[in-house]
Structure 1
Amino acid sequence: MPIRQLLHLSFDPACLADSNGRVLAVNAAFQDVLGVDAAGLEGLGLAGFLGQAAYLDISRNASVDAPLFRRLKALSREGAHQPMEVNCLRLPEGGLALVLRPALSALPHEGAEHMALHDALTGLPNRVLLLDRLRQTLARVRRHQDFAAVVFIDLDGFKPINDTYGHECGDEVLRVTAARLLEVTREGDTASRIGGDEFVMVLGELKNGLHAGLTGNRVIKSITQPIPWQGGSVRVSASLGISVAPTDGLDPETLLKKADEAMYVAKKSGKNGYSFANESVYFE
């Protein structure tokens, strides 16, 4: 698999850079760290968010044989340098691949674990905790021979809200969406935010994989309700992609990839609906 595709399967902030330290590609989690989109990051130098001394250290010492581990400070979305654990690998063609993680030992003791495992804006589990929950759910599927589902959710019409009303309104839409997902989530299931306006739900203990469509219906109906804003309201809808274990796979990466692909089918087919992996589209 091309390394750029592997980049986007990582739940941790990750990026690729050329031999001169210029960023070539980033994943969604990396964009969240700096609070800018991919277009604003590509072409940026690694020294810009790691610091010149740290960049020189990893660029000189990274190898193609094993990742180089360093505890560094990286520029965060708040504009301050935050403690991060950095794994760097030199690519055969001379570039660098970096994976970042919050340095738990450097965070304030109280709430450090929660901060590392939850999205700061919505309070939902982040990519790291989602992956852990998904692995636990799939282990149960193997033991009990039942079904589970991954539901990939992308908001329709979110960018125009940000452009028209500003990021404060966009943040409120994301917070309300998170609260609505929790309202339709059963005990034992997981609703998470993985970056931008993308959310993922993990549904376990299903007697039939198609039952995930019932949750899909509830999610769409809940998300499309008006969201109060400054005396008026705004609206978004959602496109959902659903993959089912064990039918579509039994490893997290495969299920997430297939759910993501199914979401794009729903989006390209008219939005505000859901699609099962390799199946037809349902419209609300």
Structure 2
Amino acid sequence: MLTYVKYLEYCKIKLVKRIKIVTDSVSCIPKEIIKKLDIKVVPFYFKIDNKEYKDGIDIDTRDVYKFVEEGYPFRAYPPKVEDFLNVFNSLKEKVILCITLSSTFSACIRNCKIAKEMVKDKKIEVIDSLNGAAGEGLLAIYASRLSEKGKKLTEIVSLTKRLATRIKTVVMLDTIKYVFRTGRIPKTLSNFGSLFSLKPILMLHNGKIKPVKLVRNKDRGIQKLLEILLREKEPLHVVVMHADDEIEGRKLVKKIKETVAVREIFLTEFTPIMGFATGKKLIGVSFYSERGEL
């Protein structure tokens, strides 16, 4: 039964002007969730064989991975200042929170902040996700839900920044050879990993990538991902990512549901912007514990 107090609270939430959440396309948020939560996504760019594309708009993700696999020249770069400026000016909301890919990997947040200073008639806050891919997406989803509850901007910013330090992204690469192209590992290690068909498991947390383990096959890698999840306080919010390997992604979702207590879990495609450095067949998870202190 709806009490009078609850009714007043409901009316208060409805009357609050919703804070618009903006993020970039590296966040890997499924289209249905973007639509449901009304999140605005600003696309990254990439060039393949000197032709420019907007991530998630001009070309299918599977086609991107096909080009990567075939060795076409590939370069990714963040939304331009004018892209963010156009988005900010086009939004009807007067209060905006923009969450970007970690500043460790991209100038995206710099361009966003420059655009922010050019908008004088709106209140805009910018947050470094300290993460990427679905880890960034989880943060945008969390902030959007806080906005829907009628939270004030200062509270949303504070809570979202605190959650950013706790979200982890763990991925298993099918091969080590693509990471070498980024210059993040020595060529000798790349050759060693490729020779023995080793699959590296990497963790992204607080803006830093660290190696977790090298495994000899996918089954051992999946087991390691499950072990990492089981070490966290349950229940968990989990996103499973795959790079052009939906079947394996769905299998991992099923295994996680059978093994780990989850509050929510969904499947998404790994962004080809980062997939350039990982190659096809990547499988991974982004997650955080609901029981962590916020």
**TM-score > 0.5 by shorter chain:** no
Q: TM-score, normalised by structure 1?
A: 0.30
Higher RCO (Cα < 8 Å, 6 or more apart): 2
